[in-house]
Amino acid sequence: MAPLSLTTERLLIRDWSVDDAEAAFRIYGNPEVAMWLAPMMQRVTDPNAMRSVLEAWVESAPNLAPPTGRWAMVRRSDNVLVGGLALRLLPPYEEDIEIRWQVSQHEWGKGYATEGARALLGWAFTQDVDEIFAVARSSNARAVATARKLGMEWVGETTKYYGLLLQVFRVRRADFAGPVPPNGGE
């Protein structure tokens, strides 16, 4: 899909660059973050491996069908990478889309995941999608709280994704209360 650039009050959501490797490694190399991302994504073990991961993300980006993709969240005031967001197909990889969020541990609790995800959902609902899911382990209180703060509705728990017992949240286009970009839907 075409490159994306969304701004919120504090954040810029943009495509990844391989030049993000060092900063991204501080997120995806941190065991406290990575423990919640497995088994979908394993902890990245060094900055070179992070570079390879980003190369793969950058290379695959143009081939992903909107609204799926992976993006960086950068704080506008100092240009620091604070996290990542993704919209990905859920298994069996046919239709249902999940939103994923990752924030640098030093930046947890500042509302970045919620602010960035709200903007991304607003954009996603200008595309050809009517509902978006989020899945999280019950023990991942921050992720569960993020889904709830976004106004996502708990729809149940399941073991059908990734071999884990996961709480499933959903937001529908009609119920979404976040911002829609000015040119959205055109």
Ligand X SMILES: CC(C)(COP(=O)(O)OP(=O)(O)OC[C@H]1O[C@@H](n2cnc3c(N)ncnc32)[C@H](O)[C@@H]1OP(=O)(O)O)[C@@H](O)C(=O)NCCC(=O)NCCS
What is the binding site for ligand X (CB under 6 A)?
A: 33, 36-37, 101-103, 108-114, 136, 140-143, 145-146, 149
- Collapsing DSSP to helix, strand or coil, 78 comes out as coil
- The nearest distance, CB 128 to ligand X, in angstroms, is 25
> Phi and psi dihedrals of 40, rounded to 5?
-65, -40
Closest to ligand X by CB, 21 vs 114, is 114
| CB distance 15 to 57 below 8 Å | no
- The nearest distance, CB 173 to ligand X, in angstroms, is 22
Distance CA 118, CA 147 (A): 10
Closest to ligand X by CB, 62 vs 91, is 91
Torsion, CA 47, CA 69, CA 125, CA 165, rounded to 10: -80
Closest to ligand X by CB, 14 vs 142, is 142
Q: Which residues contact 27 (CB under 8 A, 6 or more apart)?
A: 33, 81, 83, 84, 102, 103, 104, 105
Tokens of residue 184, six digits: 């959205």
Taking alpha carbons only, the member of 157, 177, 154 closest to residue 165 is: 157
- The nearest distance, CB 183 to ligand X, in angstroms, is 26
- The nearest distance, CB 62 to ligand X, in angstroms, is 26
- The nearest distance, CB 68 to ligand X, in angstroms, is 17
Closest to ligand X by CB, 127 vs 140, is 140
